[in-house]
A and B are shown apart, each in its own frame.
Chain A
């Protein structure tokens, strides 16, 4: 009887759980799913990328690969490199996505990631410049969702952060005589990551209840979503509430407080993982 109710009346089914302050998968309203991250060539197995990470948030699986290439900087910003994020939602991750040009969700997610990088200043573009006006790094960050079970933005931001922490850039010098660049693959330096932004997403139910880390089913039933991105100093890098049910300032403040707590958990996780893969 309960299985029929879930498919026939999903909202009523959910409301029964929400009344008891829990969710069908057994989590509380403020509880996150198990978060795991695999970084680097050995664990993540993208051997061709300069940096890679695989993040699992419950069933949602997102992989991020970072490739560094050389290019001439733009004329109006001669001392800046480029960071180009791209989020892809291939048809294998969920039946709602079809193959073809990127849909609105993928494009909006790409824009969101680009905004997070810019707002948080996690990578300062000036750090990517090798020679003013002549040569700079371009970091292509490809974020691909392998399994979509809700909360894409949190997983993508985390995967991006983990992959960037893993990137090792070879030393590049410009030969004075020939004017050509010389890449020294033996000498590699890690990327300078100034800030560590972490995203926390909430789904709004029936205009009042806020649940953290929604699954795909919960996102479909929700009347709105909010994503808060904070950095380690407790500063807000992004408040992303694309329409949906209206929220009071106090409810928004609750979300921000929860996001700051989540940031500490994720930062500890990432530090632990980085430490475990660094050769001693």
Chain B
């Protein structure tokens, strides 16, 4: 439907994450426009958007200081951490934390939470997200290799 407050908030998160890694000084007087269209939402939407944004920036050949990936962690009622939850798991979780992890030193580029959690739980989720970031960066590398090996 119509773009509401939630979309604006997500746009701000994505825009500032991309701005942090893009080397804007190399493209003066240029507008870089990123358009994301959700085709289907089966959970972990924000981290999917982040991954799509990063891969699109890579494909465009824009100079970046680091790659970033989005990881969603769901804290289940029994205290266990679930990465990349489905929509159903998100609903049942008592907290959902989404992080954008940069490829350099696995620092946190963006963080947003839904629901409340303790400080220890947040740190555990962050550690799990940083470990999972490796898998996603490997996927980026494989995708880029595949793309350029065909042509």
How far is it, in angstroms, between the C-alpha of A110 and the C-alpha of B5 when the chains are bound?
7
Contact among B104, B110, B119 for A242, CB-based, below 8 A: B110
- Partner of B111 from the list A112, A121, A241 (CB cut-off 8 Å) is A241
Chain A residue nearest to B130 in the complex (CB): A249
> Which residues of chain B come closer than 8 Å to A115, judged between CB atoms?
114
A243 to B130, CA, bound (A): 16
Is B71 among interface residues, defined by CB-CB distance under 8 A?
Answer: no
- Bound CA span A242–B9, Å: 9
- Let me know if A168 is at the binding interface, CB within 8 A: no
**Contact, CB under 8 Å: A243 / B100:** yes
* Residues of A with C-beta under 8 A to B111: 226, 239-241, 252
Contacts across chains A and B counted by CB atoms under 8 Å: 107
Specify the chain A residue showing the minimal Cβ separation from B6.
A111
CB pair B119 A256 closer than 8 Å: yes
A112 to B89, CA, bound (A): 23
A121-B95 Cα distance, complex, nearest whole Å:
12
Asked whether A246 and B9 contact (CB < 8 A) given A234-B119, A252-B126, A256-B119, the answer is no
Q: How far is the CA of A112 from the CA of B13 in the complex (A)?
A: 11
Interface residues of A in 102-150 (CB under 8 A from B): 104-105, 107-108, 110-112, 114-115, 118-121
Name the 10 nearest CB pairs between A and B, nearest first: A243-B16, A246-B107, A111-B9, A243-B17, A107-B8, A241-B111, A108-B12, A246-B102, A108-B9, A107-B5
30 A-B pairs with C-beta separation under 8 A? A104-B11, A107-B5, A107-B9, A111-B5, A112-B9, A115-B114, A119-B116, A120-B116, A223-B20, A224-B16, A224-B20, A234-B119, A235-B117, A236-B118, A236-B119, A238-B112, A238-B113, A239-B122, A242-B12, A243-B14, A243-B18, A243-B110, A247-B107, A247-B108, A248-B108, A249-B108, A249-B123, A252-B126, A253-B119, A253-B123
Interface residue ranges, A against B (CB under 8 Å): 104-105, 107-108, 110-112, 114-115, 118-121, 223-224, 226, 231, 234-249, 252-253, 256
Chain B residues with a Cβ under 8 A of chain A: 5-6, 8-9, 11-20, 66, 97, 100, 102, 104-105, 107-119, 122-123, 126-127, 130
